[in-house]
Amino acid sequence: DSGVTQTPKHLITATGQRVTLRCSPRSGDLSVYWYQQSLDQGLQFLIQYYNGEERAKGNILERFSAQQFPDLHSELNLSSLELGDSALYFCASSPRPLGRYNEQFFGPGTRLTVL
């Protein structure tokens, strides 16, 4: 158990809909990262927040947005869903945004299926 929690575990929805994925980082970790893993591919970095502020953006679609709240939990909002958005979405946390040792600790993921 990494200490990172994600809800829900599974989500099935229809095209055009909007969903929210939630992540709680490890206790004390200020940085939250979101990654997307499509079928048989590696994890693709989406976005990072540190202590409530956006720090880095990756290949995140304009239909997707995220935020980190004062209690440090984070939400990833996916809207106007398309079939291709079906994937595993992972959240990770680390104690600091920058540093020589950048181990990130991953949650169990949310499996999103868009029908």
Partner 1 sequence: DQQVKQNSPSLSVQEGRISILNCDYTNSMFDYFLWYKKYPAEGPTFLISISSIKDKNEDGRFTVFLNKSAKHLSLHIVPSQPGDSAVYFCAASVEYGNKLVFGAGTILRVKS
Residues that bind partner 1 (CB under 8 A): 2, 4, 6, 31, 33, 35, 40-45, 48, 55-56, 58, 90, 92, 97-109
Q: What's the distance, CA 95 to chain centroid? A: 16
Closest approach of partner 1 to the CB of residue 15, in Å: 25
Q: Which is nearer to partner 1, 22 or 55 (CB)?
A: 55
How many whole angstroms separate alpha carbon 110 and alpha carbon 22?
9
Closest approach of partner 1 to the CB of residue 109, in Å: 5
Closest approach of partner 1 to the CB of residue 11, in Å: 15
* 99 Cβ contact list (under 8 Å, min separation 6): none
Q: Which is nearer to partner 1, 52 or 108 (CB)?
A: 108
* 43 Cβ contact list (under 8 Å, min separation 6): 35, 36, 37, 90
Q: Which is nearer to partner 1, 54 or 82 (CB)?
A: 54
